Amino acid sequence: MTTAPLAHGQIHRPSATSVGTIVWLGSEVMFFAALFAMYFSLRANSPEIWSADTEKLDVRFALINTLILVASSFTAQFGVFAAERMQPRATGKSPFKWGMVEWFFLSYVLGAIFVSGQVWEYSNLISEGVSLSSNSYGSSFYITTGFHALHVTGGLIAFLFVIGRSFAAKKFGHKEATAAIVVSYYWHFVDVVWIGLFLIIYVLK
């Protein structure tokens, strides 16, 4: 006995990969919430240390680095738009004709610049006596920003994976587009987390 088709058409269910990614990102939210709680707790117990060491932060440089990361989120979304219209690569030299590969590669470059900027900032702070083991401020600063940098590095690897997959595929299809969308979810997440970190660490010193 056959089952009659649905009167209102086929039900479109969300991708299992997308749902799994969203659930996983929810657990990551809890992880970073714990890091924020640790930062606030240590700051409340050592206000004098925070007052002295936060003066060594280069807020202007951090702002520029933040804008670079935020820009990479926009370029990643343009890459998603290209993937959704099944355009893996550029059809012309103009950015308006770029495909997913070009936009994702630009996002990769911007993300790499951000991580390099953090490494440069770490070297400057260490030279001024702010290290992971110097005091509670140094520990909380490097743990919170360091874990975020690891997440950004993971996103950079994911960009390369999606770009490589698009070249390896005989035909760019739904699976490749879904992979691009999932990576964009993750990248937007690390961007939003960094904005929170920037406000707490550099603005609300």
Q: Detail the DSSP E strand segments found in the chain.
A: none
Which amino acid type is present at position 24?
W
Which mean pLDDT values do the consecutive 10-residue runs of the chain (205 residues) have?
Answer: 42 58 76 89 91 93 97 97 93 90 98 98 95 92 95 96 92 90 94 95 87
Q: What is the pTM of this model?
A: 0.86
**Residue-range domains of the chain with CATH:** 16-203 (1.20.120.80)
Which pLDDT does position 32 carry in this prediction?
87
Q: Which residues of 131-154 are buried (b: 16+ CB within 10 A; e: fewer)?
A: eeebbbbbbbbbebbeebbebbee
Which pLDDT does position 181 carry in this prediction?
93
- What is the rounded CA–CA span in Å between residue 100 and residue 128? 42
Q: Which of 71, 38, 30 is nearest to 139 (CA)?
A: 38
User: Do residues 61 and 121 make contact, with C-beta atoms less than 8 angstroms apart?
Assistant: yes
Q: Exposure of 183 by Cβ count < 10 A (0-12 exposed, 13-18 middle, 19+ buried)?
A: buried
Q: Exposure of 101 by Cβ count < 10 A (0-12 exposed, 13-18 middle, 19+ buried)?
A: buried
- What is the rounded CA–CA span in Å between residue 143 and residue 85? 40
Which pLDDT does position 7 carry in this prediction?
43
Which pLDDT does position 98 carry in this prediction?
95
